[in-house]
């Protein structure tokens, strides 16, 4: 039976206390994700000045947005296997240094090609970030206590935008977009210094590893399990919306709705504020439900996938309402609801993946769903370029986003059954030769 297997894993997790220093590491990794998303948002925030100075059309700017994700997935997979053997402490430090150094060339006068290459390098450095951070924090918390740390890491993305957008926008308006990149480089170096001083490896990894040596699962079985496929499918739709928010939301406010750069900077943080509320609420509710004995199918799977469907439906109505305020409100709520899936999928994968393989599994998961980041900005650029008006092009792009969100959410509802996945994989192992 699947339930006893899950209960067995849960009882082991609940019997393991949270080590001293776990929340300090969680806070440092929260700041790590904050810097990560500040780096991501800067091109979208400075989109109009960049397009103006470099004389870029919509398709070229869409390509610039997508270039960030060109090596994103490849790097995520490679580093995912590295962290199965190398301490995450040192991997995180190297990633942060790459981010910082990739920003400084933009301080000078550059062309489109230099900007493109630097974004590709930055994307390669940031591709593994989320999965490595999650893998690192899971070395400090047992399974039943992972929902809130995961939610807090997710909040690094929201606060990275909420805090960075006003500051970076002020730099852009008063000193030019070049210096916004330089400021991010300095912040990246500051985090690297703090992590070198305070960062530590979690002590629970060795405990979990000793308990799970006999449970190593072939990667083919892990990656084709229905819950893993469901996580990839559901998060793909959420990341489509996120990548459009990173690249196109501020230009949409300026060019599509007529707001000034300064006004657009303040409006741009609204989806992230709402998303932060969604993420924290999801983490709290998920952990509360699990404490009351609710299955992870409901407390994680259904809880994470349903908001995707609701958000997609709301976003689909955006072209059919009048007024800038109504359109912004629907986009803010629709995209913000996507945040739930980021909270629940990593713990679900962690439920049935042996710790010795978790780093790679998390990385492959991240590499697959972030492929949406390559496609979404280009699709929006093509919609804008080929439409009769800017606003019509934006609305076509957001309608495509809405359809993808609804389909992704439905796939999530159908496929996310983490509470039975461990037993299913063990049963499969019993009749199949083991390899990894």
Instruction: Report all structural domains of the chain as residue ranges with CATH numbers, in order of start.
Output: 12-209+218-430 (1.20.1250.20)
Please report which confidence band the pLDDT of residue 156 belongs to, taking 50, 70 and 90 as the band edges.
Answer: confident
In the predicted model, what is the mean pLDDT of residues 407-413?
97
What's the mean per-residue pLDDT of the chain? 86
pTM (two decimals): 0.76
In the predicted model, what is the mean pLDDT of residues 337-358?
88
Token representation of residue 41 = 């948002």
Please report which confidence band the pLDDT of residue 199 belongs to, taking 50, 70 and 90 as the band edges.
Answer: confident
Q: pLDDT, tens digit, for every residue of 25-59?
A: 999 999 999 898 888 888 888 888 999 999 998 88
Q: How far apart are CA 134 and CA 154, in angstroms?
A: 10
The residue with tokens 């912040």 is 187
* Alpha-carbon separation of residue 32 from 28, 99, 130, 399 (angstroms): 6, 11, 9, 33
Cβ–Cβ < 8 Å for 381, 59:
yes
Cβ–Cβ < 8 Å for 117, 396:
no
- 371 SS3 class: coil
């Amino acid at each position: 039976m699947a339930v006893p297997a899950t209960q067995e894993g849960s009882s082991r997790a609940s019997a393991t206390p949270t080590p001293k220093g776990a929340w300090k590491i969680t806070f440092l990794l929260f700041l790590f994700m904050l810097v990560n998303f500040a780096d991501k948002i800067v091109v979208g925030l400075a989109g109009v000045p960049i397009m103006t100075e470099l004389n870029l059309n919509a398709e070229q700017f869409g390509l610039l947005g997508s270039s960030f994700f060109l090596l994103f997935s490849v790097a995520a997979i490679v580093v995912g296997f590295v962290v199965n053997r190398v301490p995450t402490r040192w991997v995180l430090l190297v990633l942060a240094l790459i981010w910082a150094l990739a920003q400084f060339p933009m301080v000078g006068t550059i062309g489109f090609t230099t900007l493109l290459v630097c974004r590709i390098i930055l994307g390669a450095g940031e591709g593994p970030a989320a999965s490595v951070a999650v893998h690192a924090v899971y070395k400090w918390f047992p399974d039943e206590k992972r929902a809130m740390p995961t939610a807090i890491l997710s909040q690094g993305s929201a606060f990275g935008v909420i805090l960075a957008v006003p500051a970076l926008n002020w730099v852009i308006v008063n000193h030019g977009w070049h210096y916004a990149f330089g400021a991010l480089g300095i912040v990246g170096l500051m985090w690297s210094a703090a992590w070198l001083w305070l960062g530590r490896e979690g002590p629970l990894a060795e405990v979990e590893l000793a308990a799970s040596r006999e449970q190593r699962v072939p990667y083919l079985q892990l990656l084709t399990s229905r819950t893993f496929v469901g996580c990839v499918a559901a998060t793909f739709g959420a990341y489509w919306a996120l990548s459009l928010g990173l690249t196109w939301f501020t230009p949409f406010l300026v060019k599509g709705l007529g707001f000034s750069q300064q006004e657009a900077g303040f409006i741009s943080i609204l989806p992230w504020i709402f998303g932060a509320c969604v993420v924290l609420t999801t983490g709290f509710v998920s952990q509360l439900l699990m404490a009351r004995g609710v299955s992870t199918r409901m407390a994680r799977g259904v809880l994470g996938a349903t908001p995707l469907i609701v958000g997609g439906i709301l976003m689909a109505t955006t072209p059919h309402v009048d007024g800038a305020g109504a359109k912004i409100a629907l986009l803010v709520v629709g995209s913000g609801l996507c945040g739930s899936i980021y909270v629940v999928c990593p713990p679900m994968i962690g439920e049935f993946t042996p710790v010795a393989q978790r780093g790679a599994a998390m990385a492959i998961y991240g590499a697959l769903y972030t492929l949406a980041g390559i496609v979404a900005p280009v699709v929006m650029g093509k919609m804008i370029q080929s439409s009769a008006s800017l606003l019509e092009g934006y609305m076509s792009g957001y309608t495509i986003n809405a359809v993808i969100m609804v389909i992704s959410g439905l796939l999530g509802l159908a496929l996310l059954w983490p509470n039975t996945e461990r037993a299913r994989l063990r049963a499969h192992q019993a009749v199949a030769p083991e390899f990894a």
